[in-house]
Each structure stands twice: as C-alpha cells, then as structure tokens.
Amino acid sequence: MPKKEVSSSRRWGRLLSTQRLGRDRQTGSLDAPRRPSERDYDRIVFSSPFRRLQDKTQVFPLSSNDYTRTRLTHSLEAASVGRSLGHLAANWLSEMISNPAIAHIPSIVSAACLAHDIGNPPFGHSGEYAIQSWAENNRHLLDGLSLQEQQDFLEFEGNAQAFRVVASLQVRRRVGGLQLTHATIGAMMKYPSASLHGEKPRQALVGQKKFGFFAAEEHLAVAALKEMGLPKHANVAYARHPLAFLVEAADDICYRIVDLEDSVDQGLVGAQAAIEVLRPLARAVSGFRDKTYRPMERVTWLRAHAINGLIEACHDVFVNHIDAILDGTFNDSLIQASGVAKDYNALEELVQEFAYSNDRVLKVEVAGFQTIGGLLDKFVGALLEKSPDKEQAKVRALMPLGYLQRPGKKTISDRNTAIRRLTPYERILAATDFVSGMTDSYAIELYRNLTGIKLPM
C-alpha cells in the first residue's frame, strides 16, 4: 500500500472513530452485526426529544394539514438524503482507501442528519431569536456569568442545544448522555466552535458562523474533536468534520426543496412558478425526462429529480475539494460551491418572498416571541431567586426534576436542594433546556395557563 494511502487510511480511521462520547476506551467492532453508527441512529429515534419534533415548526407553524412537514418529517427526509450522499462518498473513497470504516459513512451521515434539529426550540428559527432577545433584554440576570456563559444565551443556538441534548440531557446520569460515537458527533456538529473563543472573529470560517456547543459541554466536545484529529483554527474552534459538509448539504436540500413543495400545497406559491425554478435543478440529473402531469403532480415529480440533481452536484464538489475539506481550508457549503448554486438560490428567493414572509407565518413567529419570553421570565426568575415567594415556589414545582440535575451525577430528589447546588449559569440553562424542549402546542398551552389567559381544565 502506498505511503499516501496508508496515511489517508489512518486519518479516515480517526475521523470515523467508533469511540463513544464520554467513554475512555474505543467501543464497537467494525465486524459486529450492527454498526456503531446504526446504534446511534436507534438511540436517537427512541429518544423523547426526537419524538417531540413531530409538533415543532418546520416553516408553517401549527398546521392542521398532515401533509405539511414538521421538524420530525424534515429530519427523516434529511436522513434519507444524507444516506444517499454518504453512499456516494463511501463508494468513491473505497476505491482509493483500504479501511473497513469507510463502509460506515452512509449510516454515520444518516444518524447525524436525524439528530441535527433535535435541539431546536418551538416555532422554528424564530424560537432561537426569541431566546436571544430575552437574554438581551435581561442582561442584568447574566451579570455574574463568565463572558462565554453570557454569550451562550445572547446568541442561543439550536445546533449547540442539539449537542447538549444528546451529550447531557438524555440519560443524564451517564457521562456523555446517549454516548453517540465520535464520528456521528463530528458529522452532526455544523459549527465546531464555542460561543466565544477570543482569537479570531467567528464569522471568518464556515464552521464558525455560529457555535456548536455551550460552555457546559465544552470538555466533551473538545475531547471528541481532538480525538478525531480535526485541525484547530483558534482557541476552542476546530475545522468541520468532512462528513458535516454532507449533513449540511442534506439539510439544505431538504429544507429549501420541500419548503417550496409545502408552499405550493399551502397555496402561497403558484404551481407554475415552482415548476419554473425546479426544472433547472431537475435537469442537472443525467437522463432526466420532464414528464407532463397535472400541476401539483408535476411539482412533486420535479421535486424528486431536483433533490437527485443536488445530491449529484454536492457529491462532485465533495470529491473535487476533498483535500481542502480534510485540511479545514474549504470555506463554503457544497451547494454554494456547485454549478447549480444560482438555480438553487433562485428557488430560495421564491420561497423567501412568498412563504417565509407570509402574514400567517409572521404572526405565529411574533406570538412565539411573547410565549417563549414569557415562559423564560417565569422559570428563570423562579430558579434564580434565593428566597422564592409562593408563586415562584409553584413555578419551581412545575419544572421537571430531571432538568435540575447535573449530568453524570446522582439524582437529587429534593427540588430545592437540587436548585441550590446549581450555579446561576446552570439554572438559566435548566430553564432554556425546559423551554426549548417544548413542542409548539405545549409551549402555547403552558404560557396561557401561567398567565391566566386560559385555565387548565
């Protein structure tokens, strides 16, 4: 075997590590009947935060139409597209590198796609903005926190919350939570950076536009990133895992393409307009035939081929830029670096104009600010108060006890004792954990109950 191939094989072996988060030793045999990444997939599927995605907004909040995507259906579709991207990558790499771990790539990418939105708060991305806005308006509550801890809330990020969910909040008594493999963790971590690292602006590199883990999980994240040998860009900021580009591509493909399909179904975008922007992407597939169907059927037909065209285009970029991707110098998304970026952006602009800015969507998003901000006022106030009054004591009693426990520690059954042992940062985290984990419907119902708008029956 040539020296370069040996080096590449070892490097991919580290990147595809089966070591589990929070464990001190390698686990999982490559020859086992079930691959470690397949177990990751199973652990995510059976987790309660994943099931709650069924009632979390994708684009159209609280839709009564069961055809319209939720975060759950979006995650399942992204996992399907991610698996296809993973198969193409694995088939290509296996021709150049002799390493049995290469065969794991499709299931690693699929599992990471499945988990990528598991930390998203209610009401879509507006839920993230609502938590950020609450933190900005309540800076006085953050005064005693470190700068990084403050930044965790001021720039609250669903990607970081996703890592917190799988690494700390699920199976809390076990260090590493679900204990997913390092490979799956690397693939799902779109932004392998802390919220504040001090050496370079986070916006300088594609993996630092946002952040991927809170201060509370920094030790777990950094240990995994180091073990996989990912290049370090700054203090607590690393290069993306190569497979994270495939996960991002799967997410982007599903997000925009199916958002358009849902927009047509909701009557916000005309079928003919959708056909015109989908056709160039569909024609990127060799052998594509533009069949004549009724308008909505044609949209669905073109949607399927557009997804396939984007998969092929992203794979080409991944292959052509693999050296820069491995070195941490590739600074773009696979879609934007592809030959179909212009057509993809035209589709995105259409959805942005007619769907994302629709009155119904905007009204629910504004209501989400009020709901999330109001809930945080209640729960953060009750948790930070040293001598809670009667109302605050009742609010504390509404907090599930699990959110008041330190991960990896023995459960404390007395609620007030558990709260006293938490730092102010951990108390605010407990509140954001609880609120961000809510479904859209539950958040609205609880807010109405606590404010007296609607009494529980």
**Which residue did the predictor score with more confidence, 360 or 199?**
360
Q: Is 17 exposed, middle or buried (0-12, 13-18, 19+ CB in 10 A)?
A: buried
**Which residue did the predictor score with more confidence, 269 or 361?**
269
Residue type at position 402? G
The mean pLDDT of 386-390, rounded to a whole number, is 95
Across the chain, what does the average pLDDT equal?
90
Q: Would you state the pLDDT for residue 1?
A: 44
Q: Which of 54-63, 155-164, 288-297, 326-335 has the lowest mean pLDDT?
A: 54-63
Residue 357 clears pLDDT 90, i.e. is over it: no
Helix (H, G, I), strand (E, B) or coil at 57: strand
- 338-354 b/e (C-beta count within 10 Å ≥ 16 → b): bebbebbeebbebbeeb
* Spatial distance between the Cα atoms of 53 and 41, rounded to a whole number of angstroms: 15
Check residue 10 and report its DSSP letter: H
Indicate whether this model's pTM tops 0.85.
Answer: yes
**Which residue did the predictor score with more confidence, 189 or 235?**
189
- Count of alpha carbons within 13 angstroms of residue 113, beta-carbon side: 32
Report in angstroms the alpha-carbon separations of 67 from 26, 76, 123, 258, 265.
43, 14, 18, 11, 8
Helix (H, G, I), strand (E, B) or coil at 181: strand
In sequence order, which residues have a C-beta less than 8 Å from that of residue 328 and are 6 or more positions away?
207, 230, 231, 233, 238, 239, 240
Q: Which of 25-29, 185-189, 319-323, 352-356 has the lowest mean pLDDT?
A: 25-29
Q: Is 41 exposed, middle or buried (0-12, 13-18, 19+ CB in 10 A)?
A: buried
The mean pLDDT of 9-34, rounded to a whole number, is 78
The strand pairing partners of 20, in sequence order, are 181
Domains, the chain, in order of start with CATH, read 3-241 (1.10.3210.10), 243-356 (1.10.3410.10), 359-451 (no CATH)
The mean pLDDT of 150-170, rounded to a whole number, is 97
Q: Which two tokens stand for residue 258?
A: 């199916």
* Spatial distance between the Cα atoms of 158 and 37, rounded to a whole number of angstroms: 22
Place of tokens 């290509």: 92
Angle between helices 424-436 and 147-154 (to 10 degrees): 20
The mean pLDDT of 211-215, rounded to a whole number, is 97
Q: Give residue 26's pLDDT band: very low, low, confident or very high (50, 70, 90).
A: low
Q: Would you state the pLDDT for residue 287?
A: 80
